[in-house]
Structure 1
Amino acid sequence: MSVLWLVLALSCLVLQQVQSNKYEGYKIYELPKAKARSAVLDQALAVLSMNDTHYEVFSSGSQPARIMVHPEEQLNFVQLLDGHSLNYRVLNSNVGRTLRRQFATDRKLRNKFPYRGNGRLGTERFYSHGEINQYIEDLAQEQPRRVFVKTVGRSYERRLMKTVTITNGDGRRNKNVILVDGGFHAREWISPATVVYLIDELVNNLSENADLLLDYDWVILPVVNPDGYEYTQLSEDTRMWRKTRKPSSADCIGTDPNRNFDFHWNEGGASDNPCADTYAGSNAFSEPEAQVVSDLIHSHAARGKMYLTLHSFGPYILYPWGWTSDLPDTVADLHEVAQAGFDAILADTGTFYEIGSSTNKLYVAAGASDDYAFNAGFPISFTMELPPGGTGFDPPASAIDRMVKETFVGIAAMARKVVQKYPLA
């Protein structure tokens, strides 16, 4: 059977867009890591990653591939795998059932652990965009000399997008900057949760993190895509939404905000189909959320030393480029900082992260924020893909504490290496 036949079979089994967001009976299959997969399968995965009708490729790259398959296509999919002697396992036999259970748990946790407006968010549950905004406002009231909140824009649905700037309170101006954001993709709830934990550590644990704030200020945007993030919290039927919520055509909604930046925009790894999860947008910066991040990048580029955007899932620490397999001239600096994070996490918890360029370790992703920030002048620019949980994008609330603490270990180690490499002039 030819490679072409397999690719066409996987991509053309279904020609019409699935209208329902319900995941009852969907299964998630896990296939081997890249070294154990055939070239035929990897070509098929590349096609499937652009197809969100009856298939959704949750991950591929060098990590094990996870593919969610509609009930109507599971027999066809398994027959194709068996026909090529490709090993696999069913990671989740009913995604809809899993999401229902998680939502029931989340509702109970919201009642049990309400945000009380005291500048403290725990790791017991996931919080809404409104709660996160209120949290950073409360921190600024509690620590007026160290914490500063600024409204930097509005989403398509007019939600306020706010940054929090964290200092050590010494009043010195023109320090270097580390810029962090989370919540680009709506369903990646662990990203804003990790950002919240990072904020708490920098603000409320100054004694242990004083070196990170001596000559550096941290500017943090907790949720880049608040409309999509809030949409995923409506019900289990919307939980896997990825994009923004601005209409992209008469029939489809949303753009992938991390394919919408005006640097090699739509030159690979994105779709021209407005219904696709990786839709690049009608033009670069068609999404107000991407424009807000662009403005932040440019406003801090002169003093910015590291840009870090948190995603899931991996685990990966990825650096430019995402639009080409070529590597930057300063790849040694990028790798050195990433290695610091890798070493710290491995020593602390044993989790093994993959390090490398986005294209070479994962897939082509032109028009992404990390490439844009690097090109704008940040010498260190990373996408950190956190480990999977649940079906991949939906770790249960019980995993939050472990995951965010592990990630902070890596972030702190990378930041310390940045402080060492780029001292205040």
Structure 2
Amino acid sequence: MKLLVVKLVTLLSLVVAGDIVSYDGYKVYRLIVTTSAEIDLLSELRNDQRIDFWSRHRIPNVPVDAMVPPDAQTEFETLLKINAITYEVIINNFEETEIIGRSFERRNITLVTISSGGSNKPTIFADAGIHAREWIAPSMALYIINQLVENATNAHLYANVDWVLIPVANPDGYEFTHSNTRMWRKTRSTATICYGADPNRNFGYHWGESGSSTWQCDDIFAGRHAFSEVETQAIRNYLAIHSHHIKLYVAIHSHVNGTNYTVGNSAELLYTSAGCSDDYAKSVGIELSYTIELPGGGTSGFDLPPEDILSTVEETWEGFKAYHQYVENKFVNLTN
């Protein structure tokens, strides 16, 4: 058995030399070890940097999660079977990323899918960073991704429900807030006088109506026409293909003051705003569609103090877990 372990470790070591550009095809295994001998066997594998053990337990019958690259999965599973170690694959593809379009300035519009495999499962979809200056929104999306793919205790959250997130839906504007104008809100497409349009007024549902502007220098300029911006086109095109299994759409924005959230129609609680992504999602058949306004920095406006970022995303993550529970209860047939 020692020989088989050495062979696997050697195989994994051979592929360390190449740079890993993605985790496509990586599987995450959940192992149940019952004896000290099995624990010792896994301890030998921990010496290889390519097997990423997410759990460090050395106690029998406590699950151990490990991520394994595609080239080593057959050997890894063979080793487990020979040693009668019980396992299950809890993530078939650790990280699926997709470029669904490019911004006006040719930056990638990246979409991340987190799934345990299968197709046409009920899906939670979220866009973030559609307004460039709302920096806490991309942080929230990244925290969701982090909790799903790096926290093994959350594996049940993508067992029956897929998650799809766009961390930065307006990458040109987001970059511009870092390099030039902190309070920039719009895209960076060119026009005759002023740059950009408000992408959250550019969607083709009641486009150009109340709460938007026809003046191109206005922060709520709706664009020359519905979907004039390539950034909104990318989301539209993705939804055209996948909306039939997206059950919940969340547009992540900021900011409102404080951490006591009010639930209701945004047109009544905030203001009317035609041409938004959440309304468009509802119009193409997504049953549940919401906007969440994260807290700002109080007197600092959109500049949430760094020390407040973690507490904000942590408390909002609890809300997303509630979203998941509702979607799973409503749309997943747990008897199958």
Scaled by the length of structure 1, the TM-score of the pair is 0.56
Q: 1:197 aligns with which of 143, 154, 174?
A: 143
How far apart in 2 are the matches of 1:378 and 1:285?
19
Distance 2:201 2:178 in 1: 23
Does residue 218 of structure 2 align to residue 310 of structure 1? no
Letter aligned with residue 360 of structure 1: E
**Counterpart of 2:245 in structure 1: which amino acid?**
R
Report deviation, 1:286: 0.4
Check 1:304–1:223 CA distance in 2 against 1; reply closer, same or farther (3 A cut): same
**Counterpart Cα distance in 2 of 1:379 and 1:364:** 21
Match of 1:164 in 2: 112
The aligned counterpart of 1:395 is 304
Give the whole-Å Cα distance in 1 for the aligned partners of 2:229 and 2:119. 32
Q: 1:147 pairs with 95, 109, 112, which one? A: 95
* SS of the residue 2:252 aligns to: strand
- Residue 155 of structure 2 is aligned to residue 246 of structure 1: no
Amino-acid identity (%): 45
Amino acid at match of 1:397: P
Shift of 1:140: 4.2
1:187 lines up with 2:133 in the alignment? yes
Q: Note the C-alpha offset of 1:256.
A: 0.3
Residue of structure 1 aligned with 2:122, choices 154, 176, 193:
176
- What is the alpha-carbon distance in structure 1 between the residues aligned to residue 239 and residue 126 of structure 2? 10
- Determine if contact 2:133/2:185 at 8 Å carries over to the other structure: yes
Q: Which residue of 1 aligns with 2:329?
A: 420
Q: How many residues align?
A: 250
User: Residue by residue, what CA displacement relative to the aligned partner does 1:294-346 show, whole Å, maximum 9, x if unpaired?
Assistant: 1122222111110111000126xxxxxxxxxxxxxxxxxxxxxxxxxxxxxxx
In the other structure, the counterpart of 2:33 is none
**CA distance in structure 2 between the partners assigned to 1:141 and 1:409 by the alignment:** 29
Q: Deviations over 1:253-296 (max 9, x none)?
A: 11000000000001110011100000000100000001111112
Query: Over aligned residue pairs, what C-alpha RMSD do you find?
Result: 1.9
Larger Rg: 2
- Distance in 2, matches of 1:388 and 1:294, equals 28
Secondary structure of 1:381's counterpart equals strand
Which residue does 2:230 correspond to in 1?
288
Instruction: Give the Å deviation of 1:351.
Output: 2.9
Aligned mates of 1:173, 1:206 — CA distance in 2: 22
**How far did 1:142 drift?**
5.7
Structure 1 position 210, deviation (Å): 2.9
- Letter in structure 1 aligned against 2:235: V
Partner of 1:380: 288
Question: Counterparts of 1:179 and 1:414 in 2: how far apart (Å)?
Answer: 11
Contact map agreement 1:177 1:300 (CA 8 A) in 2: no
Matched residue, 1:276: 218
- Equivalent in 357, 363, 376 of residue 265 of structure 2: 357
Aligned-partner residue type, residue 145 of structure 2:
I
Q: Tell me the secondary structure at the aligned position of residue 296 of structure 1.
A: helix
Residues in 2 aligned to 1:174 and 1:303: alpha-carbon distance in whole angstroms: 6
1:114-157 C-alpha deviation (Å, 9 max, x unpaired): xxxxxxxxxxxxxxxxxxxxx9x645476572311111100000
- TM superposition score normalised by structure 2: 0.71
Question: Which contiguous aligned blocks of 4+ residues in structure 1 show a shift greater than 4 angstroms?
Answer: 137-144
Q: Is the 8 A contact 1:247 1:254 kept in 2?
A: yes
Q: Unpaired segments of 5 or more residues in structure 2?
A: 1-19, 28-68, 70-92
CA distance in 2, matches of 1:417, 1:270: 33
